[in-house]
Structure 1
């Protein structure tokens, strides 16, 4: 199973959180959202719910790519946000846990580009072994 969606940049993207990465459908971001790396995400929760086991998440802006991994939370069910966590904590917003990177660990060139509201990030999730 492989699924892709897009999200957009915002001037307040900082990506300084050590333990989480988040995508949101919100159209605005405050400076407090330190784990959010993309807004106005166009994901479909029914497609995300088809993922299982361990997943590889690839984020791409222009030609710059970063990759991270997580285990799928089978109880994910949020139409507004996707959260990946380093911990084992599960909530309906948590798509992935046992994440291998936090927002602060991602490629800074990507995150700098995502501070531009016109930047588009392509996010691809695929099952991994």
Structure 2
């Protein structure tokens, strides 16, 4: 199953956070938001179909492909039966096992600082971000 979210970059995207990656429906980004790579997302977890939420909770492997202006990067993590998946604005990928309503997946192989720097550069220019969630 695949689910696509579109968001926008912003001049304050720094992608320096060591353990998390976030996209948000919010329309602004301050310099302190060092895990946020996309704003103005067109969907939140409230928009996820229940079938997708069930698959995420039961997934041993979740793949998120991010693409900006033809440049792609892949983040791999896991689901968990305790994922809440209902935050109205934020979607967070975590290297840790911490779970809250914002958490999409845990035990990810990358934080924001690990994202391809060409993608980060393009996000700073305000380019569109395609955030594709694939659950097997």
TM-score > 0.5, shorter chain as reference: yes
1:91 and 1:78 mapped to 2: Cα distance?
Answer: 9
Is 1:28 the counterpart of 2:37? The answer is no
- Which consecutive residues of structure 2, in runs of 5 or more, have no partner in the other structure? none
Equivalent pairs counted in the alignment come to: 127
The alpha-carbon deviation at position 42 of structure 1 amounts to 0.9
- Local SS of the residue matching 1:90: coil
Equivalent residues in 2 for 1:42-121, closer than 5 Å: 42-45=42-45, 46-47=47-48, 49=50, 50=52, 51-52=55-56, 53=59, 54-73=61-80, 74-117=83-126, 119-121=127-129
- Local SS of the residue matching 1:92: coil
- Write out the 4+ residue segments of structure 1 that deviate beyond 3 Å after TM superposition: none
Judging by fraction of residues, say which structure has more helix. 2
1:11 and 1:68 mapped to 2: Cα distance?
Answer: 23
Aligned residue number for residue 127 of structure 1 = 135
TM-score by structure 2 length? 0.88
RMSD: 1.3
1:41 and 1:109 mapped to 2: Cα distance?
Answer: 20
Greater shift, 8-17 or 70-79, is seen at 70-79
Judging by fraction of residues, say which structure has more strand. 1
TM-score by structure 1 length? 0.93
The alpha-carbon deviation at position 77 of structure 1 amounts to 1.1
- Which consecutive residues of structure 1, in runs of 5 or more, have no partner in the other structure? none
